[in-house]
Each structure stands twice: as C-alpha cells, then as structure tokens.
Amino acid sequence: MSGDLKKISMDGLWGNNPALVQLLGLCPLLAVTGTVVNAIGLGIASTLVLLGSNLTVSAFRKFVPESVRLPIFVMIIASFVTAIELLMKAFTYELYLILGIFIPLIVTNCAIMGRADAFACKNPVKESLIDGLMMGLGFTAVLVVLGAMREALGLGVLFSDMHLLFGPMAEGWKITLVDDYPGFLFAILPPGAFVGMGLIIALKNVIDARNDARKAALNPSDGVRPERVRVTG
C-alpha cells in the first residue's frame, strides 16, 4: 500500500504533473503567474479545492450514478471554490482583488475535474486525498517556478508583495536582483508565460531523458532490448 501511495505522490509531483505533462489548467497557469505571490495564492487555492473535491467525490463515489457524474462533480467543485473565494475575501482581500476572476474560474480548471473523474471516483478516500494533495502541490510548484521566472525577468525582483499572503512579517522578503532594472514587459505579458512554460516543459523532458538514459546504462536488460517474439509454434 505504501508503495502505491509513493507512486501516487511521484505521479502528482513529477511523472504525471498536471501542468507539465497533462497540460491542464493552463489558463490560470499562464494568466496569473506574473509574480511569485500570485502564483502561490492561486496554487494554494487550487490545492485546497483539489483536496476537498477529491475527498468528497471519493467518499460519495458509490452513490453517484455514472450518467450524471459530471454535473455532480461540478457542483461539488463549485461549492469548494465558493468557500475558498469567501475565505480569500476575508483574509487576503488585496490578493483576492489581484487574482480576480481566476479564483471563481478554478471551477473550470480541467486539472480538478480531471482528477475527480480519472482518479477520485474510482479510488478510496485515502488514496484520493494523497492524489489531490500531490497533484495540487505539483501544480503549485510549476506555478511558483514560472512566477519566479517571470517576476525576476520582468521586474528584476523576487518575492515582492509577499505581505498580501503572509501578513506584515513578509514585508522585507522582497529581493532586488538588479538595481535600476528597466523592466522587461514581455515576461509579464501572456506571451512570456507561454515561452516560459515551454522552457520548463523542455527542462523536464531533458531531465527525464537523462534519468532514462542513466537507468538504461545501469541495467541494460531492463526493457530496453526488445524481446524476441516467437512466431513459430
């Protein structure tokens, strides 16, 4: 069982990462990752929704008729998104204003619906929870990396405005990388997000290819050599 959970975690974080491999939820991913704080804010909100929806969908999986499962999933996801939206309005109002329409739009994030339909409605609660958490963290990680890239390139700073999320203690977290940075608007605009996303995916593929090559070098018999097929009786 623990091996299973480990595989689920690795899938969510790396092997089947919702942003890098499944390419789901690209709309918020590309739209709000202008800064690290936006990325973390949206990442946490998406993760919480994913946790809640996976938990609920998995718990009720035996009572949901196959034919109307999608509307039911949407209702469940929408209720969690509404709750998260109200929470953000209460505690991180400024960030809520910055993220704007992309908080309600989490409902339509394919990553969440995809996990509900592909995993949670077929698996027990514990596995679904782990899956939701790891998929959410994997998504958040990509958001943060992309946000950091774009913030550093576009504005020449890192971790600006973190107090919007973490309160006054985060006021001093801002790191100025380059003084007098002229600003690189392209990185902040959506095209920069597409290019950045492409580079991150390319990086993941390079790392995967290296790992595979190393694995193949360690044990050459491991599935690399094609097996001879018996064609005679």
Chain contacts with another protein (rule: CB under 8 A): 182-187, 189, 191, 195, 198
Residue located via tokens 């077929």: 122
Q: β-strand 175-176 against 157-158: which pairing, if any?
A: antiparallel
Q: Which is nearer to another protein, 75 or 189 (CB)?
A: 189
CB of 143 to another protein, least distance (A): 22
Q: Which is nearer to another protein, 173 or 184 (CB)?
A: 184
Q: Which amino acid is at 43?
A: G
Q: Which is nearer to another protein, 167 or 198 (CB)?
A: 198
Alpha-carbon distance of 106 to 78, in angstroms, equals 8
CB of 199 to another protein, least distance (A): 9
List CB contacts of 135: < 8 A, sequence separation 6 or more. Answer: 12, 18, 50, 111, 115
CB of 178 to another protein, least distance (A): 11
Alpha-carbon distance of 194 to 189, in angstroms, equals 9
CB of 140 to another protein, least distance (A): 27
CB of 154 to another protein, least distance (A): 9
What pairs with residue 19 in β-bridges?
none
Burial label, 26 (beta-carbon count in 10 A; 0-12, 13-18, 19+):
middle
How many CB atoms within 10 Å of residue 131? 25
Alpha-carbon distance of 118 to 122, in angstroms, equals 7
Q: Which is nearer to another protein, 25 or 192 (CB)?
A: 192
First to last CA, the chain: 40
CB of 201 to another protein, least distance (A): 12
Residue located via tokens 């299973």: 4
CB of 116 to another protein, least distance (A): 36
Burial label, 168 (beta-carbon count in 10 A; 0-12, 13-18, 19+):
exposed
